[in-house]
Chains A and B, each alone.
Chain A
Amino acid sequence: MENVKIDKTIDARGSACPGPMMEAIRAIKAAPVGTVIEVLSADKGSTNDIPAWVKKVGHELVGIEERDGYWSIVVKKVK
């Protein structure tokens, strides 16, 4: 993911409610098509949940990266 240009980062670490996945949906809804959005989550479950939703809706999962105690999940809005 090193070469990916991220347009917007959502830091959802420490977000119990609404949580990283809801924050991801909110950001994707509000962004123009083509936007690359990074969601930071301290919840490992996000690495399954967010990609599952992205696949269902038809956006693109750019990648997932584990960092120091949290995960970066990068998504591109394609429609």
Chain B
Amino acid sequence: MPKRIVIVGGGAGGTISANLLARNLYRELVRGEVVINMITNTPEHIYQPGFLYIVFDKIRPNEIIRQQKDLLDPHINLFIDPAKKIDRENNVVITESGKEYPYDYLIVATGSKTVPEEIPGLKEGGHMFYTLEDAKKLRDALREFKGGRVVITVGVPHKCPVAPLEITFMLYDYFKEKNMLDNVELFYTYPINRLHALEPVSNWAVPQFEKRGIKYEVMFNMETIDPEKKIIYSMEGTELNYDLLIAVPPHSGAKVIEESGMGDKGWVPTDKRTLHAEGYDNIYVIGDTTNLPISKAGSTAHFEADVVAERLSIELLEGKSSVEYDGKVVCFVETGFDEATYVWFNYDTPPNPTPPSRMLHWMKLGYNRLYWLSARGIL
């Protein structure tokens, strides 16, 4: 009987971990001693950081989409069949088609989704850029926009924590290129008491905002939107008028997680070092799906996938593994159309952003292409 690994989710974390496992366990896969089954919702794999560039016509949609089957090592079995229930007591995943996928080891990488419906009026009154469809709609709205107040506002929790700052700086450069700065007021809001969760990034951003004349309000959590009057009402009791609203919507985890009783709002309680689902040594959790208080970002999923693939390979081949996740996250931060900065941090090391440069921006543009190597487990 082969050892069966089931991976639920074909995003960055699921795909990288699957390909790394296939490489580490190549002989065992060929001999039929190990089987890797991936269960995912869609045949397409989308590079989500590309949405930011779609908004400004800097990337075409076909550049950020690949077929999932083309990204996976041929020894991995791919099933496009959304998971409906994860039965942890009987070690089996049941899909919407009714099929059952028993496992010895499970990797849960079901990710997160936007839930704009949690903010009444947001879907009707605001634009977003966290799905391809929303990014295209925002792109079209920007093309039509004649001027006024553009408000950038941020829901909690959300993924890609640097995106709100990135889009603000890119909007500034966009309106500058269009000679519209005299007709546009950029207004940025943020849920906590500074411009960004990372204090050094926030400290850097304040003079950048002032230099560009970008206004801001902190401790602002959108509660409801009035699409008719074009007003955002905050939990803190303030209100803000807008002509164009660009919101980072709140996120939740996948439905299958809640329906399987694995975690509130779809976030799975996870050990911060081993990445085991709490109470289950044969279940690993990676990426946005964990309840860990760290960035929900492709970078996090990538580094966690490295750890899980290594741990699981060693467990299968040699017994117990001592490889652990140290909380590592690396993020490029676009600071406009021409420059970017970069931060890395982990559980013990705070971030220290480098000065923005053209070189870092080019590296980010390069990584937008190199991602396909990361997904294949090569980079």
From known contacts A14-B272, A21-B193, A57-B236, infer whether A52 and B219 are also in contact, taking CB-CB under 8 Å: yes
Smallest distance from the beta carbon of B374 to chain A beta carbons, Å?
A: 21
A10 at the interface (CB under 8 A from B): yes
Q: Are B156 and A10 in contact (CB under 8 A)?
A: no
Q: Are A16 and B192 in contact (CB under 8 A)?
A: no
A26 at the interface (CB under 8 A from B): yes
Please report the C-alpha to C-alpha distance between residue A22 and residue B154 in the assembled complex, in whole angstroms. 11
From known contacts A22-B156, A53-B192, infer whether A14 and B347 are also in contact, taking CB-CB under 8 Å: yes
Please report the C-alpha to C-alpha distance between residue A56 and residue B220 in the assembled complex, in whole angstroms. 10
Q: Are A25 and B192 in contact (CB under 8 A)?
A: yes
Q: Which residues of A contact B116 (CB under 8 A)?
A: none
Q: Most chain-B Cβ atoms within 10 A of its Cβ — which of A17, A20, A21, A22?
A: A17
B265 at the interface (CB under 8 A from A): yes
Q: Which residues of A contact B161 (CB under 8 A)?
A: 17-18
Residues 1 to 56 of chain A near chain B (Cβ within 8 Å): 10-12, 14-23, 25-26, 29-30, 45, 49, 52-53, 56
Q: Which residues of B contact A26 (CB under 8 A)?
A: 156-157
Q: Are A29 and B236 in contact (CB under 8 A)?
A: no
Q: Which residues of A contact B327 (CB under 8 A)?
A: 14
Q: Which residues of B contact A21 (CB under 8 A)?
A: 192-193
Q: Are A18 and B193 in contact (CB under 8 A)?
A: no
Please report the C-alpha to C-alpha distance between residue A77 and residue B197 in the assembled complex, in whole angstroms. 22
User: Looking at the complex, which one of B192, B235, B350 makes contact with A57 (CB distance below 8 Å)?
Assistant: B235
Interface of A is mostly: helix
Q: Are B351 and A17 in contact (CB under 8 A)?
A: yes
Please report the C-alpha to C-alpha distance between residue A57 and residue B236 in the assembled complex, in whole angstroms. 5
Q: Are A19 and B272 in contact (CB under 8 A)?
A: no
Smallest distance from the beta carbon of B224 to chain A beta carbons, Å?
A: 13
Closest to A19 in B: B197
Q: Which residues of A contact B348 (CB under 8 A)?
A: 14
Q: Are A17 and B347 in contact (CB under 8 A)?
A: no
Q: Which residues of B contact A17 (CB under 8 A)?
A: 161, 197-198, 294-295, 329, 345, 351
Please report the C-alpha to C-alpha distance between residue A22 and residue B235 in the assembled complex, in whole angstroms. 14
Closest to B238 in A: A56
Please report the C-alpha to C-alpha distance between residue A17 and residue B347 in the assembled complex, in whole angstroms. 10
Q: Are B156 and A16 in contact (CB under 8 A)?
A: no
Q: Which residues of A contact B295 (CB under 8 A)?
A: 17-18
Q: Which residues of A contact B347 (CB under 8 A)?
A: 14
Q: Are B235 and A18 in contact (CB under 8 A)?
A: no
Q: Are A10 and B219 in contact (CB under 8 A)?
A: no
Q: Most chain-B Cβ atoms within 10 A of its Cβ — which of A10, A11, A15, A58?
A: A15
Q: Which residues of B contact A49 (CB under 8 A)?
A: 192-193
Smallest distance from the beta carbon of A52 to chain B beta carbons, Å?
A: 6
B221 at the interface (CB under 8 A from A): yes
Q: Which residues of B contact A11 (CB under 8 A)?
A: 293
Q: Which residues of B contact A52 (CB under 8 A)?
A: 193, 219
Q: Are B157 and A22 in contact (CB under 8 A)?
A: yes
Residues 153 to 197 of chain B near chain A (Cβ within 8 Å): 156-157, 161, 191-193, 197
User: Looking at the complex, which one of B250, B264, B293, B351 makes contact with A23 (CB distance below 8 Å)?
Assistant: B293
Please report the C-alpha to C-alpha distance between residue A53 and residue B293 in the assembled complex, in whole angstroms. 19
Ordered nearest first, which 3 A-B pairs have the shortest CB separation?
A14-B347, A15-B293, A17-B197
* Chain A interface residues toward B at CB < 8 A: 10-12, 14-23, 25-26, 29-30, 45, 49, 52-53, 56-58
Given A17-B295, A53-B219, 13 more pairs with CB closer than 8 A: A11-B293, A16-B294, A16-B350, A17-B161, A17-B197, A17-B198, A17-B294, A17-B345, A19-B192, A22-B157, A26-B157, A52-B193, A57-B235
Can you list 17 residue pairs at the A/B interface with Cβ under 8 Å?
A: A16-B294, A16-B350, A17-B294, A18-B161, A19-B192, A19-B197, A21-B192, A26-B156, A26-B157, A29-B156, A29-B221, A45-B199, A49-B192, A52-B219, A57-B221, A57-B235, A57-B237
